[in-house]
Amino acid sequence: MKHSVLLRFKVAIVFLASCIFMMNCSATADEPVDLVYPHLDSVNSRWFFFDSASRPFGLVNLSPDTGLGGAWGSGYRYNETEVKGFSHVHAWQLSAVSMMPISSNQDIADIKQDYFSNFSHDTETVKPGYHKLHLDRYNIDVELTSTTRVGFHKYDYPKGQPQQILIKLGGEMGPSKFGHGEAHLISPTAIAGYVTNQATHRRPRPSKVYFHAEFKQKIADISAWRNGKIEPNVNGTSGLDAGLLVSFDSKGDAPSEQLMKVGISYVSEENAYANIATELPHWNFEKVVTDSKHDWNNWLSKIKVTGGTQQQQQRFYTDLWHALQGRRIISDANGQYTDQTGTRAIVKQLPLDSHGVPLFNHHNSDSFWGAQWTIATLWPLAYPKVASDFTNSLLQYHQDGGIIPRGPSGGNYTYVMTGASSTPFIVSNYMKGIRDFDVELAYTALKKNHSTDGIMSRAGYEHFTQTGGGMQHYLEKGYIPYPLSETESLYGNHRRGPGQTLEYAFQDHTLANFAASLGKKDDDIYYRARSKNYRNVYDSESGFMRPKNVDGTWQTPFDPYQYENGFVEANPAQGTWNVAHDIDGLASLMGGKDILISRLEAAFETAEKQGFTSGTAHADESLEEFRRTPINYGNQPSIQTAFIFSAVGAPWKTQYWSRKVVDTVFSSLSPTSGYNGDEDQGLMGSLAVLMKIGLFQLTGGTEQDPIYFIGSPIFDSISITLDDQYYSGKTFTIKTLNNGPETPYVKAISLNGIPLDRTYLTHQEIVSGGELVLEMSNQPNMNLH
């Protein structure tokens, strides 16, 4: 009897333990898509930052707008209390088609002046591909989802109350003021039209975005306004500051639910409709929500992590989610797109495969400035087809307009930032075996970009001249003066001589590598020599890269912590480290590797006191209390610095400081912080991912068989699914032993069971598949190099 009782007790204990174990597992066994926290840093949102009802790189980026004016301080801002519409495009320098469900008995003249509604985060649900909230003013439940090119809305109105949708064709949305707009009834259940993004100083040509809106219920009435004039009972409208109020029957047994599909196109209304026909031929809203969730989960699952805390996993997949959005598709499902690189808009066709499917997508993109340390490493590793698409897209711009861009918008060149930042991206892809593009065309185009006829000669947003880039000085003197001469300084932004010199030198290094790989020996020698130009702006007396005048004299007086003193969005102290391609050469200038290590460590110790960032928002960088930090992980110019230690033989310092940066800068889950307001379309999200998996490329992978420095992974296991279209391996797994908050150092390394005495891997070792095992410790192993 006692034995039986004891046995039952043991069984009960085992069962209870199993339940507890399963509960604990379920707490951390969510799918990657379920771990994303979309509200991260949304207090600091800019127009293209926040994402909800969108697919990876989707043409449609449907989400609520709580702020409207300007590229900064607009879009979905967490602390704003009013919804002001639901826009379908939140892109670099572009917006389009704001729609707002309302329920009002007011006249249209009053409605158009006052239709915003309060909402509460308490009744809000936000997930990748889905957004739900309640409009308190109208008692309307709103649900949003999308395909790649079609927004899908679901509104639940109060029974028996007016059911209306306001379509805004004018005004200002984010970075763009709308010019001429048009909308017209094309069937009892459909309205089509376009909005015009007026030119900005960044995007010099107007950009039309077309739409086709299909409603599940029949339209009962349309009223309009334009140019301050009200027009009741119309079939459409056309003009400046225009819009529609579309009404539906709400009497008697009329359904309270309204569904709406909105196809978007940069080409035509017909293509907007065709995008609906191709991607969303049905009305099953829940199916699209589910499909979108699965789509995001498939993308996010390319990198699977286990271990760490729940918060660390949530933040990791939020970072990865950001790395897969922002740089939007602009071509239609049929492969048509609008070329805006010339004096007029021209509709063109992307190449198709034998089944009529476009070979790649055409894209908008913010700058590739800093991409060598972020997406140029992450995308080729985990998403090589994306890297291929972007390479082919950049080459399409060259074929259309004669220059590979560094940040196109809506088919326009924008000349955002400085240098030839697309060069390292394209060269990195080539070196990693992603070569399904016209290699000779790419080389010819990049070579042009590195000349006085190319993009290097243009400063930021310098559309019609070629002086602000300082290219003539770079070729003649080996450096770019700061300031330029009075006549040369008239055009463009970001004219920061020593910073530009360092950028150009690195980019010349990557082009030299490309030339060498293609057997172009003379070009290799030429660009290799130019890559040493960074030496011409190093001042041995101060120990910093220093502005140099046109006549060759140093700037006097000189403050290495003065913000933007010769360096874009940085100070000279931060910019001095931007010699990723020749760390040995930089060490030599500084007096040797030991001195470099000592100086870099001192810089990290100082930066740590400020949390490794210049404040918690991009605008903070210019404030006196934040601008003097020697390293800033809140912006691109110095995000490579922790891995410089590895390049000079002190990888344990890389492990220590990279873990510190991750814990301090990239670990929060809060609407008020996360990327300091400057995520820049996947760049900082990608950086965080790379640092957390412990793989980083100091030169962006632009050498033959590029290397990845091993950092300090924060998870027990990281498994990367390799794309068999490009790589021979199936998966590459990183396992850590004895990992935790107090064990940032790598004590021992083995690859596929073979011990390594080096703290780097080659690209080929990774993409061949296998397992890397890292034994972690609270003490550094100085015998690993």
pLDDT tens track for 752-767: 999 999 999 999 999 9
Mean pLDDT of the 160-176 span: 95
In a domain, 358, yes or no: no
Q: Are 682 and 714 in contact (CB under 8 A)?
A: no
Report pTM.
0.95
DSSP 329: B
Q: Are 146 and 129 in contact (CB under 8 A)?
A: yes
**AA identity, residue 153:** H
Mean pLDDT of the 519-530 span: 98
In a domain, 314, yes or no: yes
Looking at residue 581, its pLDDT comes to 98
Q: Are 293 and 129 in contact (CB under 8 A)?
A: yes
d(CA 181, CA 146) in angstroms, rounded, equals 24
H or E element that contains 221: strand 219-226
Confidence at 18, pLDDT banded by 50, 70, 90: very low
Identify whether residues 320 and 278 lie together within a single domain.
no
Instruction: Report CA Rg, the chain.
Output: 27
Mean pLDDT of the 388-417 span: 96
Digit-coded pLDDT (tens) for 109-144: 999 999 999 999 999 999 999 999 999 999 999 999
Looking at residue 106, its pLDDT comes to 96
Identify whether residues 191 and 316 lie together within a single domain.
no
In a domain, 546, yes or no: yes
**AA identity, residue 610:** Q
The CA-atom distances, in angstroms, between 163 and each of 138, 187, 254, 292, 726 are 10, 19, 10, 28, 52
Q: Are 126 and 62 in contact (CB under 8 A)?
A: no
With a CB cutoff of 8 Å and minimum separation 6, the contacts of 602 are: none
Backbone φ and ψ for 63, nearest 5 degrees, come out as -165, 165
Give the pairing type, strands 731-737 and 770-777.
Answer: parallel
Identify whether residues 161 and 272 lie together within a single domain.
yes
Confidence at 489, pLDDT banded by 50, 70, 90: confident
Identify whether residues 282 and 314 lie together within a single domain.
no
What's the CATH code of the domain at 111?
2.70.98.10
Digit-coded pLDDT (tens) for 540-550: 999 999 999 99
Is 90 exceeded by the pLDDT of residue 524?
A: yes
**AA identity, residue 292:** S
DSSP 69: B
d(CA 181, CA 52) in angstroms, rounded, equals 26
Identify whether residues 310 and 244 lie together within a single domain.
no
Q: Of 35-39, 475-479, 491-495, 623-627, give the lowest mean pLDDT range.
A: 623-627
Q: Are 36 and 127 in contact (CB under 8 A)?
A: yes
Q: What is the separation of C-alpha 557 from the centre of its chain, rounded to a whole number of angstroms?
A: 38
Looking at residue 16, its pLDDT comes to 37
Identify whether residues 719 and 602 lie together within a single domain.
yes
| Counted domains in the chain | 2
What's the CATH code of the domain at 761?
1.20.1610.10
With a CB cutoff of 8 Å and minimum separation 6, the contacts of 117 are: 82, 83, 100, 102, 135, 136, 137, 138, 140
Closest CA to 45 of 59, 64, 26: 64
3-state secondary structure of 396: helix
d(CA 583, CA 364) in angstroms, rounded, equals 33
In a domain, 342, yes or no: no
Looking at residue 22, its pLDDT comes to 35
Q: Could you tell me which residue, 1 or 408, shows the higher pLDDT?
A: 408
Confidence at 624, pLDDT banded by 50, 70, 90: confident
Looking at residue 622, its pLDDT comes to 84
> Residue 552, exposed/middle/buried by CB under 10 A (0-12, 13-18, 19+)?
exposed
Closest CA to 471 of 479, 483, 463, 460: 479
Digit-coded pLDDT (tens) for 329-359: 999 999 999 999 999 999 999 999 999 999 9
In a domain, 350, yes or no: no
Digit-coded pLDDT (tens) for 46-85: 999 999 999 999 999 999 999 998 888 899 999 999 999 9
Identify whether residues 570 and 434 lie together within a single domain.
yes
Is 70 exceeded by the pLDDT of residue 10?
A: no
Q: Are 88 and 264 in contact (CB under 8 A)?
A: yes
Backbone φ and ψ for 639, nearest 5 degrees, come out as -80, -5
**AA identity, residue 410:** G
Is 70 exceeded by the pLDDT of residue 7?
A: no
Looking at residue 26, its pLDDT comes to 35
Find the domain containing 568 and state its range.
303-328+363-665+682-774
Q: Are 237 and 257 in contact (CB under 8 A)?
A: no
Closest CA to 692 of 655, 662, 661, 660: 662
Confidence at 678, pLDDT banded by 50, 70, 90: confident
DSSP character string of 453-492:
TSGGG--BT--S-S-TT-HHHHHHHSS--SSPPTTGGGS-
With a CB cutoff of 8 Å and minimum separation 6, the contacts of 485 are: 550
Identify whether residues 146 and 295 lie together within a single domain.
yes
d(CA 260, CA 269) in angstroms, rounded, equals 16
Angle at alpha carbon of residue 768, lines to 764 and 771, rounded to 5°: 105
Edge to edge, the sheet with strand 243-248 lists 53-54, 61-64, 86-91, 94-102, 163-168, 243-248, 219-226, 229-231
Looking at residue 20, its pLDDT comes to 38
Is 80 exceeded by the pLDDT of residue 442?
A: yes
d(CA 174, CA 227) in angstroms, rounded, equals 21
Looking at residue 29, its pLDDT comes to 64
Digit-coded pLDDT (tens) for 90-112: 999 999 999 999 999 999 999 99
H or E element that contains 292: helix 285-300
Closest CA to 613 of 632, 641, 636: 632
What is the number of helices (H) and of strands (E) in the chain? 19, 34
H or E element that contains 339: strand 336-339
Angle at alpha carbon of residue 373, lines to 716 and 378, rounded to 5°: 50
- Provide the mean pLDDT of the chain: 94
Looking at residue 63, its pLDDT comes to 98
Structure tokens at 20: 């507890």
Structure tokens at 124: 């809000």
Residue with tokens 């030299």: 512
Confidence at 619, pLDDT banded by 50, 70, 90: confident
Identify whether residues 390 and 431 lie together within a single domain.
yes
Identify whether residues 269 and 307 lie together within a single domain.
no
Longest dimension (CA), the chain: 102
Backbone φ and ψ for 264, nearest 5 degrees, come out as -120, 145
Digit-coded pLDDT (tens) for 259-307: 999 999 999 999 999 999 999 999 999 999 999 999 999 999 999 999 9
With a CB cutoff of 8 Å and minimum separation 6, the contacts of 110 are: none
Is 80 exceeded by the pLDDT of residue 28?
A: no
Is 70 exceeded by the pLDDT of residue 145?
A: yes
In a domain, 333, yes or no: no
Identify whether residues 188 and 320 lie together within a single domain.
no
DSSP character string of 618-679:
GGGGGSTTTTT-S--TTSGGGTTGGGHHHHTT-HHHHHHHHHHHHHHHS---BTTBSSTT--
Is 90 exceeded by the pLDDT of residue 576?
A: yes
CB atoms within 10 A of CB 25: 9
Q: Are 514 and 443 in contact (CB under 8 A)?
A: yes
Is 90 exceeded by the pLDDT of residue 771?
A: yes
Identify whether residues 121 and 205 lie together within a single domain.
yes
Residue with tokens 């500084």: 590
In a domain, 7, yes or no: no
Closest CA to 37 of 300, 263, 242, 228: 300
Looking at residue 69, its pLDDT comes to 84
In a domain, 268, yes or no: yes
- The DSSP bridge partners found for residue 86 are 64, 99
Structure tokens at 633: 């992980």
d(CA 153, CA 425) in angstroms, rounded, equals 37
Residue with tokens 């009972």: 233
> Residue 220, exposed/middle/buried by CB under 10 A (0-12, 13-18, 19+)?
middle
Q: Of 175-179, 193-197, 449-453, give the lowest mean pLDDT range.
A: 175-179
d(CA 4, CA 523) in angstroms, rounded, equals 86
